[in-house]
Amino acid sequence: MPGSPARPACAACCRPLTHCLCALVPSLQPATQVVIIQHPSERHHALNTARLLALGLANARLVIAEQLYDDLASELADPDWRTELLFPGPEVAQIAPSPFDGRPRRLVLLDGTWRKARKLLYLNDVLRRIPQVTLPVGQASRYRLRKAPGPEALATIEAGVRALSIIEPDIDFQPLLKPFEALIEGQIDSMGAERYSRNHLATTR
């Protein structure tokens, strides 16, 4: 039996046109440049929060690659920018508001499972050379549809919002989470309350 034809999708958010989230995506213009490096296997994931984050930030880029091309690697290594990689690790400093050192700030995020994110680091020397920063602990993820390694494991869009809120506290970044929350609610509605409760709710209590 032939498979059903693919549903038309939005070119921006990549959701089916009947479930497009673009109306909920804000247009924010922080001074911080955001570069999201997404592992290729995440590109067609149903819960692609990296794309939603990039759509909501005027100066953000979503790069889908396992190995970075030379021009981007050179750009990330530019000493005229204060570039930081948001990635936890031992003795990693917490992210802080932008210092007054005259350099523009760039934040790099890796999108993928922990295994895939570590592979991105392993394959790209430039990422390992970027100073790492981490988020303060204490806030649980709203991502109720995945089995995370811990309650503080965040979706990419959540990590980006929290990091930017610390870097530029004068800007309200919470609107970036509206399409993410709608996406989660839509997924829960489509699976049904009983299935969600059985497969996911018990693991989030």
Residue with tokens 């790099």: 108
Amino acid identity at 133: V
CB neighbours of residue 106 within 10 Å: 19
> Which residues touch 173 (CB under 8 Å, ≥6 apart)?
28, 30, 161, 164, 165
Q: What are φ and ψ of residue 156, in 5° steps?
A: -55, -40
DSSP classification of residue 137: S
Q: Kindly give the confidence (pLDDT) of every residue in the chain, 205 residues in length, as a single tens digit, with 9 standing for 90 and above.
A: 455 566 788 889 888 888 899 999 999 999 999 999 999 998 877 678 999 999 999 999 999 999 999 999 999 999 999 999 999 888 899 999 987 788 999 999 999 988 999 999 999 999 999 999 999 987 666 665 555 444 457 889 999 999 999 999 999 999 999 999 998 887 766 665 455 444 444 444 3
Summarised one tens digit per residue, pLDDT across range 84-103 is 999 988 889 999 998 778 89
pTM over 0.75: yes
23 conformational bin, left if phi > 0, alpha if psi -120 to 50, beta if neither = alpha
Do 108 and 68 meet the contact criterion of CB atoms below 8 Å apart? no
